[in-house]
Amino acid sequence: MTEAVVFDLDDTLLHNDRTISDTTVRVLRTLALKGIRIIPASGRSPESMEPYVHRLGCCDTFIACNGAEVWNTGGKCLMKVALPLKTAEDIIRFGDEYGVYMQTYDYGSFHYNKESYHAKEYAVSTGLRGVQTPDLIGFLQNHPTCKILLMADPDLVSRMRSDASVRFAGRASITTSKPTFLEVNPLNTSKGLALSFCADHFGFHLEQTIAFGDSLNDLSMIQAAGTGVAVANAWDEVKSCADDVCPSNENDGIAHYLLDHFPSYF
């Protein structure tokens, strides 16, 4: 008996134009009415997730910032872990060494170090307000954060991920949701650990959970769930760790997988 369904948003549930189909909404709402808990889990900030949570209309909980935050739809934070200030400062210095675009977050806004098309695209894709803040280290003194995002071309991000994973071992969690994103979160935070928190908090069982994802930041969640499913457009590393593969995000893969596996519900 499946007790919970958890899924990434971008490139997993959302179409490439960042919309959710009526079919997907109908399927997830039907499962919710059958008593299955529906949990979005994204690298996005809570404010950026809220329009999608509202569109689904069947979630009372969601996981944000790659698992560093868990919120209910009433606006209550159930769990939040911030980066230690010294670690956050060192991450900014690390990004400065590579000369890349960086940003952090503060209540519906993202603060970035320098003008770039990355800032413009991020504002469009998330609906958040961007504020140029050249002194990110100074900003962090009074604005603790759960996430720092560094952006660059995929080859540089790959090199940076290898470097950061060594330099910040035991200090931070390093992951990637898109080839151009290097995401830094507090140590011992991940979507998988946040899913475990939700299971303990709400009393459902991980082995009775289905998790869907596409990228490296979804691996922990796919491995923690009883059934991990990669969408067809997922990274090869994700597919190799998943129990199953469903159609792509553009083809409503999550909805079709659930329709196939729960025919008596529809």
| Residues 100 and 140 grouped into a single domain | yes
Select from 125, 152, 186 the last residue of a domain. Answer: 186
Task: Give the Cα-Cα-Cα angle 112, 178, 101 (nearest 5 degrees).
Answer: 20
Q: How many domains are there within the chain?
A: 2
- Assess whether 176 and 204 both reside in one domain: no
The b/e string for 65-86 (b: 16+ C-beta within 10 A; e otherwise) is: bbbbbbbeeeeeebbbbbbeee
Pair (114, 23) in one structural domain: no
Pair 58, 25 in one domain: yes
**Cα–Cα nearest to 70, from 106, 36, 46, 35:** 46
Does 182 lie in the same domain as 92? yes
Asked whether residue 71 falls in the same domain as residue 97, the answer is no
Using CA atoms, how far residue 84 sits from 3, 36, 184, 187, in Å, is: 35, 36, 12, 9
Q: Which residues of 180-199 are buried (b: 16+ CB within 10 A; e: fewer)?
A: bbbbbbbeebbbbbbbbbbb
First to last CA, the chain: 16
176 and 211 co-located in one domain: no
Host domain of residue 151:
85-186
Same-domain pairing of 115 and 65: no
C-alpha to C-alpha distance for 82 and 14, rounded to whole angstroms: 27
For position 1, what pLDDT does the model report? 87
CB atoms under 10 Å from CB of 54, counted, come to 10
Report how far Cα 217 is from the mean position of its chain's Cα atoms: 7
- The tens-digit pLDDT sequence of the chain (266 residues) is 899 999 999 999 999 999 999 999 999 999 999 999 999 999 999 999 999 999 999 999 999 999 999 999 999 999 999 999 999 999 999 999 999 999 999 988 999 999 999 999 999 999 999 999 999 999 999 999 999 999 999 999 999 999 999 999 999 999 999 999 999 999 999 999 999 999 999 999 999 999 999 999 999 999 999 999 999 999 999 999 999 999 999 999 999 999 999 999 99
**Which pLDDT does position 197 carry in this prediction?**
98
Q: Indicate if 109 and 239 belong to the same structural domain.
A: no
Sheet holding 61-64, edge to edge: 61-64, 69-72, 77-80
Given 166, 186, 206, the domain boundary residue is 186
Say whether both 117 and 70 belong to one domain: no
In this structure, are residues 185 and 65 in contact, taking their beta carbons and an 8 Å threshold?
Answer: yes
Q: How far apart are CA 110 and CA 123, in angstroms?
A: 8
pLDDT at residue 107, rounded to an integer: 87
CATH number of the domain where residue 148 is located: 3.30.1240.10
CA distance readout (Å), 198 to 5, 42, 73, 79, 147: 12, 14, 14, 9, 20
Phi (first) and psi of residue 12, to 5 degrees: -125, -65
Helices (H), the chain: 22-33, 46-56, 85-98, 117-126, 136-140, 154-167, 191-202, 219-224, 236-241, 253-261
Are residue 133 and residue 205 in the same domain, yes or no?
Answer: no
What local confidence, expressed as pLDDT, does residue 219 receive? 98
Give the pair of three-digit tokens for residue 240. 């190799």
Nearest to 61 by CA among 48, 82, 76: 76
Whether 108 and 158 map to the same domain: the answer is yes
